[in-house]
Each structure stands twice: as C-alpha cells, then as structure tokens.
Structure 1
Amino acid sequence: MIHITDEISEKLRKVNLEMLKEIDRICRKNNIKYSLCSGTLIGAVRHGGFIPWDNDADVNMLREEYEKFFVACKRDLDTEKFFLQDFRTDPNYRWGFPKLRYNNSVWLMPGQEKTNWHKGIFVDVFVYDGVPDNYFLRRIHLFICYCIRKGLYSFFGRENASNSLMRLWYKMLYCVPRSFWIHCFNVMVKLSNLSRHELVRHLTFPYPLESSKYGMPRKCFDEYMDKDFEGYTFKIFKDYDSFLTSMYGEYMTLPPEEKRVGFPLAELKFPENM
C-alpha cells in the first residue's frame, strides 16, 4: 500500500489539473457543456480548489455533450499526453463511465492489480443519461443499471468480493461476455435519451443518498458558469447547490477528521515530466 504524502498529493493535483485544463480547452473550443462534479465540485465551491485530502478529479456531461466531446477528442486531444478511455477506445475496459488518462503513468487501487487496460492517472468523466419519469419504470431502470454494473465489475468481484459466495456469484457473471453487458448498456443509453426527463444519472455508478438513488435533477444541466479553481477557470453548474444537495446533503459541512482521507493506492507512477 502506498502512503500518500503531502508531496505525492501535490504532484497528483498537478497531473489532475493538467487533465482538467485539457478537457476545458477542448470543450470551450467545441462549445461543449461540462461541469466539475462530485468531490471536485465540492472543492471548487467550498475550498476554491481541490479538497485538501482528495487525490482525484471528476467532471460530468450529458450524453449528447459527451458524444460531441468524443468526436472532438479525435481531432483536438493531445494524444502524446492523454488517452480518452471508454468501451470504444479500449477493448478491455469495463467501467461504465469514460476516463481521461495520462499516458506513461499508473494509478491502481487495491484489488485492481490485474487490470488489463490502460492504467494511467485519470479524470473521471461521468456521463448522464435520462431516467424514466414513471415510478415503476424508474425501479426497473434502476435494477437494469445494477445488473449491468455488477456484470462489468465481475472482472474484479470474482477475486475481490468479501466472501466466497459473492466471489462465486461474480465468477458466474464473468462467464457472460463483456460484449453482452456493453450491448445492454448501449440499449439503455438509447432508450434513456429519447426525450427530456426530470432526472438524469450515470448508469453504472450508485448514488450515496436514498433520496437521490434514482438520479439527479436534469435542470442542473441547463446553465453553467465559470468558477476559479486552483488559479484556473473551469465550468460548473449555475445551480450547483441543487446538484450537490441532492448528491451529498449538507455538502458545506466538513466531514469528521477521521474521514478526511483520499483513496488508498496499490501502485502509483507519475509521468516522467512531472
């Protein structure tokens, strides 16, 4: 296990900032809407930069914006430094949301040592799709999202699950080809974006609060503004309060000191120029 020192945290923030700047550059050039999100959005609002104990970065986009971003990256991304990773660009990838990876680097959490895809330090790009407005369809939608998430995660769960029964279950799920889960995912994407819905969500990532388990308010994605972050300017939701309250509750309250820790890491390698 790697102990995250202040020096390592500072270098991680430097790498993350460089990736955030690249995302922002491409989005502004191509008129693509995005926002800092999750802990990075809290950091922007509460700290004016990274949460002091956080060691990663996140942005989000609606599906239609991400598809424009995907096309723009083919043309504008600095591919010597960065790699946009999703199901289409990495034949082994099994997370349900894209990542912008920094080439010639490594970031691995415990249990991910056998990962067989690009392992670089990353910024998560959470892509949001529609959630049915009908209550019963929402429950079906949530269940299908759960199944796809577990099917994709089975690569790890077959060895890392907490008990032998769960490991057996994941081994059975892993027998289902990756292509099947991706096909199901793509069908869900198509069906989820036929019209505008009250809620949106990233399909393969659960939400921490019961009150927002079905998704986040779609209205938050309507307007954006510039926000200072570590001396640079990035985009965030104008209605960031509704988004963060839905996801975290009292997001301006600092967590207990014992919870002010970053992700544990099994392996970390910085690019040579860092």
Structure 2
Amino acid sequence: MKPGVDYLKLNDDQLKQLQEEMLPLLIEIDRICRKHNITYFLSDGTLLGAVRHKGFIPWDDDMDVQMLRKDYDRFIEVCETELDTSKFFLQHQQNDEHYNWVYGKLRVKNTTYVRAGQEHIKQKTGICIDIFPLDPISENKYKQRIALYMCNLCRKILWAQVGKKAANTAAGRALFRVLSLIPRKLTILVFELFAKSEYKKNTAFLANHNLVRKILKSEWYSETITVEFEGHNFSAPKRYDDILSSLYGKYLEPPDVNNRHGNAYASQIKFTNGIELKL
C-alpha cells in the first residue's frame, strides 16, 4: 500500500544503484552466518527474485531475510564482535532508543534512507536490509489469534509516532496521537511476551509477527538449499515453492505492468558516492 505522503519515484538507474548498495549487506549477513553456523533464509520478494530472476526483481527496492528466533538472537549477539563496522551497522530496538520496530536492520554506513512520512523520527538511517525473526506459534487456533492480534496491536502502537503525522485522515492522526503516548518500552515488552510465548517449543507453525502474513509451516524451514542471487550463492528454504505459493499464488507469473513497483517508499536517499536524492 502506498503511503499517504509524497515519495521519491526512482528511475531505472537510481533503482539499480540502490540495489547495488543493498547487495553487500546480504553478502555480509551470509559471511557471518556461515562462519558461526547460523541459519538464515532469503524471504519474501528477495526469495521470489532469486527463484524467478536469479537476482533482484527488476522493480524491487528492498531486501529481506528471515531467521528462526534462536538464530536471530545468536546473530544479534555475534555481530557485536563479528560485524564489519567500518562499512555496516546493525540496528535493533535495544541499541537505538528511537528505533520503534521489533526486527533488525543491517544498514550501510555513510548513507541515508528516510522512509516517506518518517522524516521527524530520530532513529538512525541508512540503506538497509530487513532481518525478520520467525517465532514458533501455538497450534491452537484461539491462541494463534490472540498472539497475532496482540503483536499487531503493539506494532500499531509503535507505528503511532509515524501515524500521528502520516495517517490519511484527521481521525486516524488523532487516534495515533493518543496511541503514541503509550510507553515504547512497555509496548515492546508486551510484543515480545506474545511473539515469544512458544519460544522453547517445537510447534508445527511459525509466524513473522512483523508482517501481516499467513501462518507458515515449520516443516517448510526444516532444510535449506543454496540459490543464486546476482551471481552469488545464498541460503533459502528448500520448500520455497510452498512458501512462495502461500504468499503470492502463481509466483512465477510476473504481475501486470501497473503492479510492478517497489514498497520501500523513501523521501530521501544518499548513496555511498555522495549522490543524494530528495523530494
């Protein structure tokens, strides 16, 4: 869904440059995970790009990986000493008090990437790749609904700092102004309470509580394979067909021309070569 604010429309050369800036982030994740035996998966549009295009979807402007929660926690830990901090920094809710999301972003240093509508947010910025934890979720439908509802509610509260300025209606902005008064730390605590409620259990299902997605089957992520992406080899779920079919339906068929656009709407981008794009 497009935001209710204006955003940059990248031409083909600008989009290609953005993709070239993001690829080293994935290479760094792969390097660290291989060294420390951490499992990760290409996900969402990045996984689709690997399968359908052997690289970026031509119009894609973001990258995503997933990790099972235990691997995600381990990745955060080893990055304290392993990450190449001359080029990158890992951002998460514990190390940036103004970062209101509950998943990690690996960012390129000395770059800027500001999402449209988030210009007033004080979080650190930079061209990035999203790192989403996958959490075990109960096999009980009632418990599933509660966990999904509470995590979504907490995400709405955390987004309120954006929504109070960027929501499409006056009523929406007023509602988010009220929600923005709820303490950040409390909201994150509640989110993690429900997201991690089945942390130590081997359930049949997984959830990415940071996206509105279908429940995923744990067996889809039980094995990995190597896939090609922009001339490099990365890790993907062996059952990628089940995952992509669940998310996109007939995923090998490109969408019609009107639906070929990215989703990471930005109002400001600065590349490592100093070139800056602004509204």
Q: TM-score, normalised by structure 1?
A: 0.94
CA distance in 2, matches of 1:262, 1:147: 25
Equivalent residue, structure 1, for 2:243: 243
Is the contact made by 2:132 and 2:210 (CA closer than 8 Å) also made in structure 1?
Answer: no
- Are 2:256 and 1:252 equivalent residues in the alignment? no
Question: What letter corresponds to residue 175 of structure 1 in structure 2?
Answer: L
How far, CA to CA, are the matches of 1:248 and 1:34 in structure 2?
21
Find the aligned partners of 1:163 and 1:15 in 2 and give their Cα distance.
35
The amino acid that maps onto 1:123 is: I
Aligned length: 268
Can you list the C-alpha shifts for 1:159-190, whole angstroms capped at 9, x where unaligned?
11121111111111110010111111222243
* 1:270 counterpart residue number: 271
| Matching residue of 1:233 | 233
Q: Does the 8 A contact of 2:136 with 2:207 survive in 1?
A: yes
Query: 1:1-274 maps to which residues of 2 (within 5 A)?
Result: 1-207=7-213, 212=214, 215-263=215-263, 264-272=265-273
- Compute the displacement of 1:51 (Å): 0.2
Structure 2 residue identity aligned to 1:261: H
Unaligned ranges ≥5, structure 1: none
Using the alignment, how far apart are the partners of 1:185 and 1:61 within structure 2? 18
Q: What letter matches 1:224 in structure 2?
A: T
- Secondary structure at 1:234's aligned position in 2? strand
Alpha-carbon contact 1:226-1:235 (below 8 Å) kept: yes
The unaligned stretches of length 5 or more in structure 2 are 1-6
**Identity of aligned pairs, percent?**
36
Q: Secondary structure at the match of 2:101?
A: coil
CA contact (8 A) 2:113 2:269 kept: yes
| SS of alignment partner, residue 13 of structure 1 | helix
Contact preservation (8 Å) 1:216, 1:247 = no
CA–CA distance in structure 1, aligned partners of residues 206 and 112 of structure 2: 32
Say which SS state the counterpart of residue 108 (structure 1) adopts: strand
Displaced runs of 4 or more, over 6 A: none
- Distance, in Å, in 2 between the alignment partners of 1:247 and 1:63 is 21
Aligned equivalents of 1:200, 1:152: Cα separation in 2: 22
Supply the AA of the counterpart residue of 2:80. K
Cα distance per residue 1:51-72 (max 9 Å; x no partner):
0000111111000001111111
Q: TM-score, normalised by structure 2?
A: 0.92
Distance in 1 separating the partners of 2:50 and 2:210: 25
Q: What is the alpha-carbon distance in structure 1 between the residues aligned to residue 248 and residue 206 of structure 2? A: 16
Give 2:3's aligned residue.
none
Following TM superposition, by how much is the alpha carbon of 1:265 offset from its aligned partner in structure 2, in angstroms? 2.2
Q: CA RMSD in A?
A: 1.4
Cα separation, 1, equivalents of 2:28 and 2:125: 19
